[in-house]
Structure 1
C-alpha cells in the first residue's frame, strides 16, 4: 500500500527468498542492498510499480501471485485459493481498494478457513461448535480437557440486581469465588450451574458425532482433596472410572492400569486392494488477463441518406416482429400498437401507417413472414425453410409469401 515502506519491502524479499530457496545472507537484511539472485526481480518490481498502483484489487492480487511465483511452486495451492476467495468475498460487499482490504484482512484473517470437498481424502479439523448437526464414521478428539468455570480475564460479567433502601440498580460483577460468601452468592451459583450445563452440552455434542468409532483423550489432576470436578477431564475420569458398572469378567470398561475406557468391538480389518500407486496430477493454475479476451470491433456505418433510411427500416422491422410475435388476432396487434405508441417507440404518423398495414396483413390467409428493410436473398431462403417445416408437420400443400412493409409488397415464394 505504501511503496516507501522499506520494512514491508524487506519482509517481502525475505519471504520470497525462503519460498524460492535463495541463500540467506547479510545483504538480504541490509537497508540498501540485496542479494545478486534477487536484483533482477527487484528491477522487474520497479518497472511494474506505477502500473500496479493503478490496478483494481482483484487484478492486483493476480499480478502479485504471478510475480511472487506462488502458483509455480505447486505447493499449498489450497491456501492460495483460500486467499483469492477472501478477496472475492471482500469485493462483493465493499469497495475494491487495497487500503480497505488490508484493514478488513487484519480483522478477519483469523476467521478464514480452507474449504475442501466432502469426498476429499483428508482429515477434517473442526471445533465442537462447528460439528453440530454433522456426523462422521470416525471422530478423534484429542483435547477434551478444559476449565468449566472461567476465571481471570476470561471470567464472565454478572449483571446482578441490587437494592439499597429505595435505590434499585444493576451492578456488573466479575465472576469470582469471593462472591460465594457475599450478598450475590445466588447469582454466583446460578452462573456456575450454567457453566456446567454448557460444558455438558459440549461433551454431548462431541460424543454424538461418530457413527462407528470415537477416540478421545483428556488429562486429569488429582490433589490432596481428590479429583475436583472443575475440569472436564476430571469429570470424564470420575465418570468412566466409577460411573459405569459392567459385570465381571469383561475386557471392556475401565482399565485402571492404562487409565482407559474401552467399549464395543473393533471392526474387522479389510486388507487394502492391490492397486498401483497413482501419480498425482499437477494442478493447473492459469491466470488469464481479461483485457486479452476483449477486443473492440469497429463497424463502418453508412451515414448517407440511403444508409440512415435502411437502419431506420431495420429498427422498425424489429419492432414490427416483436408486435406480431405477441399477436394472435388483429385486436392483439392494435392493442400492442397503442402500447408501443404510448411508450414512444414510434411517433403517431408511423403508428397510423403501421395500423393500415396490419389491417391489410391480418386479412390474408396465406402463411407469411414479415420483413422490414431492404429486400435480401436471405429472406427468401428463410421463408422456404419455414414452408418445408410446415409441410413436413401438416403433410399438406403449403404456400408462402414475403410481405415487406416499405414499400408495401407481397411476394409469393
Structure 2
C-alpha cells in the first residue's frame, strides 16, 4: 500500500487520469476510423465506377437519366425565375403535384421555384399527399418535405393545410380499427427507450389519422390471428408460413360463398418472394380440388410474376422452338423445349431430369409426329406466321392454354416486325435482352385474385384484403449490405466528405450516432407506414396473420398494440370513430376479431367474355397482314399487279438482298407477307436474277463488300436521308438509288446530294448511280 501511495504521490494518478482522458477523447474517432476503413475498398470501387460512367457519358455526349434532377438543380441554382422553365415555350400558372410524400429533396428544390412563382402571381397550386403513406424512402422519398418543410419554406398566409377527414373507401368498422390502431401504435413506439430525447415523434406524423365515414355506410370485419403451434416445425419461420398458407383457401372459399368474386380479393405481402410462395401454393391447391369445387370456386390468380410474359411456359416453349429452328444441334435448347412442353400442362409424363443422350428419344416419344420436318419447313416464314405455326402444330392453342400470354407474345412479335423486320435471330436477341420482361396487359375487370407487394398496392383498394405474413422487421438490417451515408465532421475523416458505411450498433458512441438514431427512427416510420398502407386498402373485410419471433417484428408490435389499454397510455380514444382494442381480443389474446361478416351487397359484375383458346388460322386462304399502305394500290390477282405497286414490291425485295444468294429468301418473305402472289414468285426470282447480271449491277451484289441498305444519314438541315444502297469495297463507296418510273431532273439532284453527304462523312465515293430498274438503265454521276 505504501508503494502505491508513493507512486500516486510521484504522479501516477495524473498519468492514469491523462491515459483515461486520452482514451475518452480518442475512442470515438478511433471507432469512426475503424468503421470507415472497413468499407473503404468498396467505396473506392464505387468511386471508380462513377468515374468510368462519367467518362463514358462525356465521350458519348449523354448523361445518366438518374442524374437529371441533379443537373436541373445545378442549372436552376437559387434563381427565383429560372430560365430553364421559361425556355420550354410553355407557360403554366397552376400546378398540382400528387403523391408529394414521396418527393425527394432534389425534386423539391426543382419544383419549389415553380410553386413560388405561381403564388407570387396570385395563383393557387395544389400539393396532394399523405405522410402516413410515405413508403419509398429507398427511392429517396422524403416525408418531411410535406410534413414540415413546406410550412417553413412558405409563410403561413401562403399555405393552407386541409386534411381529408372523411373516408369514402372503407366500411365503419375498418375505419374505426385503423383510426385506433394508428393512434395508439405510434404513441407506444415513441415511449421506447431508444427514442428517449428524440425530437421527432411518430405520433406527430399520425396526428390527423382519425377519419369519419358517410352516414349511409355500415358494417365491416377485421380478423388478425397470431399463429402458434406446439409443433416444433411450426415454430420455425417456414413452419409458420406453411400453417398460414393452409388457411388461405378456406378464407377465399368462404368469401366466395358470401357472394364475393375472386377479383374482390387482394393478397398483400412485404416481399416478392412471399408472393411467389402464395402463388405456388394456391396453384397447387387449385389443381388438387375436385371438379365440383373447381366449378364452384374461382382460384384464378394474378401477380407481378404471373404477368411477366417471359415467365409463361407456353411462351418459353415457342421461343425455344424458334431457337431450335436456328440451331437444331443445340442439346441444351432441345432439352429446354422438352421441359417447357411438359410444363405447359398439355402433355403428361415429363421427366424431371433430362439426359442429353436421351433428348432425341424423348422428342420422338412426346412431340407430335413429323416435328423435325415441320420446323425445317417453316424456317423461311415471317416471324408472326412462324410463331403461329408453332402454336398450332404443338397444340398450344387449345382450351386451357395460357391464352393471355400467347396473345400478348404475338402482339410483341407483330410490334417487332413493324419496327425491325422479320429477322428471327434479331428477334431472339431482342427477346432475351428486354422483350421477355414485359408485363402482360390485362383488363382491369379480369376476375382473378390479385397477389402483390404492399408497395404495388399503394393507391389501390379491394373489398377483401388478406395480409398473410405480418412478420417483417421494424428495425433496420444489421447484417448484409445495409449501407447508410454519413458525413464525418472531424479531421482527418472530414476530408473524404460523404461516405457509405454499414449500419450497425458500433456507430453508437461515435460521431456517427446521430445517423444511427435517424436511420432507426426512419425505419420504424417506414414500417408503420407499410402496415398503414396495407390495412387501409380494405373496403369491407381485413384478414391478417402474424407469427412473431422477436419483439422487433411487425407481428409482435401489432399484438402488443392490440392488447394495450388506451387509458394506461394516456391516449384519448373516446371518439365515436375509435374503439378500445383489447375488447376484441379472443383465444387468450391470439385472435383479434371486430365486426360481423355480411354477404356482399354490391351489384354483381357482368361476366367477362374471355377466349378459352387462342385461334390459329392456317393455309393459303388465311388473311394476310399488310405492313404498308402501298399494298392498297395493287389490283386483284386475276388481273395482275398494278405497275406502281409491283415497283414498290420490287424495291422492298431489293432492300432485303445483300448478295445474289439472298434473292429466293427475299421473294419468299414478300410472298409470306402477302406483298406478292404465290404464282408470281418464280417469275420475280428470275426477273431479279436477270436484273443484277449486268456488268455494274453484278458488282453491286457480289460478295466481299460491306453493304448498307437504306442507311439513315443525318443531313445538315436536320432531315434524315436514305439512299437505297451503299456498297463499300476497298475503302471506296458506291451509292445507288433505285427508280421504277420515268427519268426526272430531280433524280439527278437527289443522287448528287447523296454523294455529297457520303463525301462529307469521309467516304471516297467511287460512283453515284441512278438505276432505272424497269428500263435496265444506269445513269452515273
Q: TM-score, normalised by structure 1?
A: 0.56
Match of 2:505 in 1: 177
Give the RMSD, CA atoms, in angstroms.
4.3
Q: 1:124 to 1:46 in 2, by over 3 A?
A: same
- State yes or no: 1:46 paired with 2:376: no
Is the Cα–Cα contact under 8 Å of residues 342 and 350 in structure 2 kept in the other structure? yes
Pairing partner for 2:555 from 216, 233, 238 = 233
Match of 1:283 in 2: 612
Is the Cα–Cα contact under 8 Å of residues 139 and 209 in structure 1 kept in the other structure? yes
Question: 1:253 Cα deviation (Å)?
Answer: 1.7
Match of 2:623 in 1: 293
Equivalent residues, number: 289
Is the Cα–Cα contact under 8 Å of residues 28 and 35 in structure 1 kept in the other structure? no
- State yes or no: 1:266 paired with 2:615: no
Question: 1:207 Cα deviation (Å)?
Answer: 1.0
Q: 1:261 to 1:7 in 2, by over 3 A?
A: same
Question: 1:214 Cα deviation (Å)?
Answer: 0.8
- State yes or no: 1:70 paired with 2:396: yes
- State yes or no: 1:11 paired with 2:336: yes
Is the Cα–Cα contact under 8 Å of residues 241 and 256 in structure 1 kept in the other structure? no
Match of 2:521 in 1: 193
Q: 1:71 to 1:297 in 2, by over 3 A?
A: same
Structure 2: how far apart are the matches of 1:231 and 1:302? 76
Structure 1: how far apart are the matches of 2:336 and 2:370? 17
Tell me the SS of whatever aligns to 1:21.
Answer: coil
Structure 1: how far apart are the matches of 2:554 and 2:433? 31
Q: 1:75 to 1:218 in 2, by over 3 A?
A: same
> Structure 2 unaligned runs (5+)?
1-322, 568-572, 625-633, 644-781
| Rg (Cα) greater in structure | 1
Question: 1:5 Cα deviation (Å)?
Answer: 0.9
Alignment of 1:313-324 (within 5 A): none
Is the Cα–Cα contact under 8 Å of residues 220 and 237 in structure 1 kept in the other structure? no
Tell me the SS of whatever aligns to 1:124.
Answer: strand
Alignment of 1:25-40 (within 5 A): 30-31=357-358, 33-35=360-362, 38=365
Structure 2: how far apart are the matches of 1:191 and 1:75? 49
> Structure 1 unaligned runs (5+)?
223-227, 304-413
Task: For residues 45-92 of structure 1, give each alpha carbon's deviation from its aligned partner in whole angstroms, at most 9, with x where no partner exists.
Answer: 33433633x445444432332233111252333343454456567668
Structure 1: how far apart are the matches of 2:590 and 2:426? 53
Task: For residues 300-334 of structure 1, give each alpha carbon's deviation from its aligned partner in whole angstroms, at most 9, with x where no partner exists.
Answer: 7999xxxxxxxxxxxxxxxxxxxxxxxxxxxxxxx
Structure 2: how far apart are the matches of 1:134 and 1:173? 36
Q: 1:195 to 1:97 in 2, by over 3 A?
A: farther
Question: 1:101 Cα deviation (Å)?
Answer: 5.1
Alignment of 1:133-172 (within 5 A): 133-148=459-474, 149-165=476-492, 167-172=495-500
Moved more, 199-208 or 109-118: 109-118
Question: 1:12 Cα deviation (Å)?
Answer: 1.2
Q: 1:92 to 1:249 in 2, by over 3 A?
A: same
Structure 2: how far apart are the matches of 1:261 and 1:205? 19
Structure 2: how far apart are the matches of 1:252 and 1:71? 56
Q: 1:252 to 1:158 in 2, by over 3 A?
A: same
Is the Cα–Cα contact under 8 Å of residues 160 and 173 in structure 1 kept in the other structure? no
Structure 2: how far apart are the matches of 1:120 and 1:301? 46
Structure 2: how far apart are the matches of 1:193 and 1:251? 27
Question: 1:108 Cα deviation (Å)?
Answer: 5.9
Structure 1: how far apart are the matches of 2:459 and 2:385? 39
Task: For residues 124-149 of structure 1, give each alpha carbon's deviation from its aligned partner in whole angstroms, at most 9, with x where no partner exists.
Answer: 22221222222221111112221231
Structure 1: how far apart are the matches of 2:452 and 2:405? 17
Structure 1: how far apart are the matches of 2:482 and 2:619? 53
Alignment of 1:331-370 (within 5 A): none
Q: 1:81 to 1:143 in 2, by over 3 A?
A: farther
Is the Cα–Cα contact under 8 Å of residues 27 and 34 in structure 1 kept in the other structure? no
Structure 2: how far apart are the matches of 1:30 and 1:258? 61
Q: TM-score, normalised by structure 2?
A: 0.32
Q: 1:33 to 1:59 in 2, by over 3 A?
A: closer
Is the Cα–Cα contact under 8 Å of residues 150 and 156 in structure 1 kept in the other structure? no
Q: 1:167 to 1:146 in 2, by over 3 A?
A: same
Q: 1:17 to 1:240 in 2, by over 3 A?
A: closer
- The answer to which structure has the higher helix fraction is 2
Q: 1:251 to 1:109 in 2, by over 3 A?
A: farther
Tell me the SS of whatever aligns to 2:466.
Answer: strand
